[in-house]
Amino acid sequence: KIRRFELGNPGAVSVSFEFFPPKSDKMEAKLWSAVERLQPLDPSFVSVTYGAGGSTRERTHRTVSRLLKETAMAPAAHLTCVGASRGEIDEIVREYADLGVRHIVALRGDPLEGIGAVYRPREDGYAYASDLVEGIRRVADFEVSVSAYPERHPESADWSAEIDNLKRKVDAGATRAITQYFFDNDLFETFLEKVRAAGISIPIVPGILPITNFEQTMVFSAKCGTSIPHWLARRFAGLEQDSETRKLVASAVACEQVLDLVDRGITDFHFYTMNRADLTFAICHMLGVRPATSEQQAA
């Protein structure tokens, strides 16, 4: 366990960053400027999401491939099994293995009809993330991360179903879980207690969402099951027309969240960057995660 005054010691905290594959040349330029700004922070890995139902298969592959070739960072490719056959998924996994990728974030994905629709597994597909993890491990020796939900996945009937599912994913070979974003650290801590009580010992890395757009965050949170505390809504209230102040507030909120998690003994953080560097860079700075000095680089 580290304490705040120790932040800044190299290695005290480790971070990873999530990006999404860009759709246009303009978005591509934005992503790469974020990548360049965040790379000196030496993340333990950077992950690239996979569009709903495999809609970004090519773009995710291209982005992961470029990260591998043009940066010193270790890329992790997200992969969802919804809507695809086992054969199609195995082929994608083999392509990543051939490319030299060593880390996959294995997910089931949302129903093709959208979040909230009834999920029906394909007969010839991997039904759930635990089946996908098993399939990936059969194809090659990947590091496999999976999802975890401090406020429960909306389809899980109860907490025991939720924790059993995480356990199945770990038994299938997952070595890290990254959480859905959350804003109430007490919920995360209670979740962690449940996970550890069930004998699950892999790292559970909190997913941190710096809020770039509060309205959108409210809409998405309602769908994915993340609660918006009353105090959080009050902090953003009245700033609808004031993007400058919203950004400062977003940075303050996320810094407060991660520093409180440090006080609770957390040392690994995964940032949902939304392909922007500014907020994530500032929060990392507060965590003591800084570009290496020339002396450190030489050592």
Q: Is 22 or 288 the residue whose CB approaches ligand FAD more closely?
A: 22
Name the site residues for ligand FAD (rule: CB under 6 A). Answer: 49-50, 52, 78, 80, 105, 107-110, 128-130, 147, 153, 155-156, 161-162, 165, 178, 180, 207
- Least Å distance, CB 79 to ligand FAD, is 8
- Least Å distance, CB 257 to ligand FAD, is 17
Q: Is the dihedral of CA 250, 259, 228, 117 positive or negative?
A: positive
Q: DSSP assignment of 56-117, as one string? A: THHHHHHHHHHHHHH-SS-EEEEEE-TTS-HHHHHHHHHHHHHHT--EEEEE----TT-TTS
18 carries an active-site annotation: yes
Q: Is 40 or 53 the residue whose CB approaches ligand FAD more closely?
A: 53
Q: Is 107 or 261 the residue whose CB approaches ligand FAD more closely?
A: 107
The C-alpha atoms of residue 232 and residue 250 are separated, in whole angstroms, by 10
Q: Is 46 or 129 the residue whose CB approaches ligand FAD more closely?
A: 129
- Least Å distance, CB 64 to ligand FAD, is 12
Q: Which of 18, 134, 151, 162 is catalytic?
A: 18
Which three-class secondary structure state does DSSP give residue 148? strand
- Least Å distance, CB 174 to ligand FAD, is 10
Q: Which two tokens stand for residue 64?
A: 């992961």
Burial 52-61 (b: 16+ CB within 10 A, else e): bbbebbebbb
The C-alpha atoms of residue 76 and residue 136 are separated, in whole angstroms, by 13
**Residue type at 157 in one-letter notation:** A
Q: Is 86 or 290 the residue whose CB approaches ligand FAD more closely?
A: 86
CB count in 10 Å sphere of residue 37:
16
Which three-class secondary structure state does DSSP give residue 9? strand
DSSP structural state of residue 119: P
Residues classed as catalytic: 18
